[in-house]
Amino acid sequence: MKGCIIHKPDSVDLAEEVLKFLAKIGVSAEILQDWSLAKDFDFIVSVGGDGTILRLLQFIDGKTPPIFGINTGKVGLLTHCDANFREHLLKAIEEFETEEFMRIECVVDGERLLALNEIAILTAKPARMIGVRIFIDGIEIEDIRCDGMLISTPIGSTAYALSTGGPIIDPYIESILIVPVAPFKLGWKPWVVSANRKIKAEVDSEAFVVADGHRSVLADGDSEIVVRKSKSYAVFFKMENRIGRIVEKLKLIR
């Protein structure tokens, strides 16, 4: 068994500590500079915040090796522990229990994006709204002017979608959340639909389609934006109480 360690720039010292700890317990590992190679290892330790894990997942299509997150960021909803990692990491490797979470994929004019949290459709012109029409399995459910639209996974319901007034969804329920950003409409409500639905969006002007805040594609009024559940799942080491972890971390942003 061989693991790899990836880290954000200001967490190199802690990454070195993780490497030494793994060697001490007899586990081979290396610190990766080229994150695209992470898919070839038996497990991944991410040292950073949620953004580090989301960036890592942009390099891995298909099923990921199990990820263990050590939080050095601000919130760390996707991570397993903070800097005092030894007991948690040892238990994870010894038991090697994993859990999978759905990702969604978006195709924009033939280009494919993959996201664990959300696909964001955002106006390309700051301070100017865009018109967005949303279709579920061919049926129009919304026609709205707004700063953008989020199409989110349950894991992503505690990320960008939360700040727009969307509901918190149990991460173990496979579903898709649709919620507008700054809608110019009274009485709007978010939609939560089956993960097996096909979601199509149309915009009336230029918009950026962004996957987890990293990769983006420019769309316009002629573009076809289609979002579906992906066959590529994100795999994490099992968290003893993920709901409890979410509650604990959300208290930090109240």
pTM of the model: 0.94
Q: pLDDT by residue (tens digit) across 225-242?
A: 999 999 999 999 999 888
Task: Give just the sign of the alpha carbon dihedral 44, 47, 49, 52.
Answer: negative
* DSSP reduced 3-state for 186: coil
User: Got the DSSP string for 87-100?
Assistant: HHHHHHHHH--EEE
Q: E strands along 93-165, which residues? A: 98-101, 104-108, 111-115, 118-123, 130-136, 139-146, 148-152
- Encode the chain (254 residues) as per-residue pLDDT tens digits: 999 999 999 999 999 999 999 999 999 999 999 999 999 999 999 999 999 999 999 999 988 999 999 999 888 999 999 989 999 999 999 999 999 999 999 999 999 999 999 999 999 998 899 999 999 999 999 999 999 999 999 999 999 999 999 999 999 999 999 999 999 999 889 999 999 999 999 999 999 999 999 999 999 999 999 999 999 999 999 998 888 888 888 887 76
Above pLDDT 70, what percent of the chain?
A: 100
Token pair for 237: 């080491």
CA atoms within 13 A on the CB side of 176: 25
Task: Give just the sign of the alpha carbon dihedral 88, 92, 93, 95.
Answer: positive
Token pair for 136: 């579920």
Return phi, psi of residue 236, to 5°: -125, 155
Return phi, psi of residue 100, to 5°: -115, 145
* DSSP reduced 3-state for 201: strand
| Residues belonging to the active site | 50
Q: Which residues contact 83 (CB under 8 A, 6 or more apart)?
A: 14, 70, 71, 72
Q: pLDDT by residue (tens digit) across 181-204?
A: 999 999 889 999 999 999 999 999
User: Got the DSSP string for 37-72?
Assistant: GGGGSSEEEEEE-HHHHHHHHTT--SSPPPEEEEE-
Token pair for 141: 């459910």
Please state at what angle helix 86-95 crosses helix 12-24, rounded to 10 degrees: 50
Whole-angstrom Cα distance, residue 25 to residue 11? 22
